[in-house]
Amino acid sequence: AQSVTQPDIHITVSEGASLELRCNYSYGATPYLFWYVQSPGQGLQLLLKYFSGDTLVQGIKGFEAEFKRSQSSFNLRKPSVHWSDAAEYFCAVGAQGNTPLVFGKGTRLSVIA
């Protein structure tokens, strides 16, 4: 069965600092990997996705993520965080065919001045 672990429940960074959110997955075959962001009271917005090909994927809002098969990881990065990035971030794993997304528990990002 698929599973996703986001080891950090809450991260606080200063505005302008770099950010890395960790995601580890467990899946037997080649996974499809996603990062979503959720602002308070809102739904999930897709930041980026990995299906195949280049292991470094670019997303919206200046985010990128790198798929590392050897480490079963798909960490999200941003070089310079803005106050508006404060939100909850979810990593999810899916697969080809009729397999529902499995989400991590989320990482809450706080941004301080």
The pairing of beta strand 10-14 with beta strand 107-112: parallel
Q: Is 31 in the site for other proteins (CB under 8 A)?
A: no
Identity of residue 11:
I
Judged by beta carbon, residue 43 or residue 53, the one nearer other proteins is: 43
Tell me if 87 sits within 8 A of 78, measured CB to CB. no
Give dist(CA 110, CA 94) in Å, integer.
27
Judged by beta carbon, residue 51 or residue 83, the one nearer other proteins is: 51
Judged by CB under 8 A, the stretch of 53-61, 63-71, 76-84, 86-94 that binds other proteins is 86-94
Residue from 86, 88, 64 nearest 9 by CA: 88
Judged by beta carbon, residue 82 or residue 105, the one nearer other proteins is: 105
Judged by beta carbon, residue 9 or residue 113, the one nearer other proteins is: 9
Q: Is 22 in the site for other proteins (CB under 8 A)?
A: no
Min. distance of Cβ 27 from other proteins in angstroms? 13
Residue from 52, 45, 39 nearest 84 by CA: 39
Q: Is 80 in the site for other proteins (CB under 8 A)?
A: no
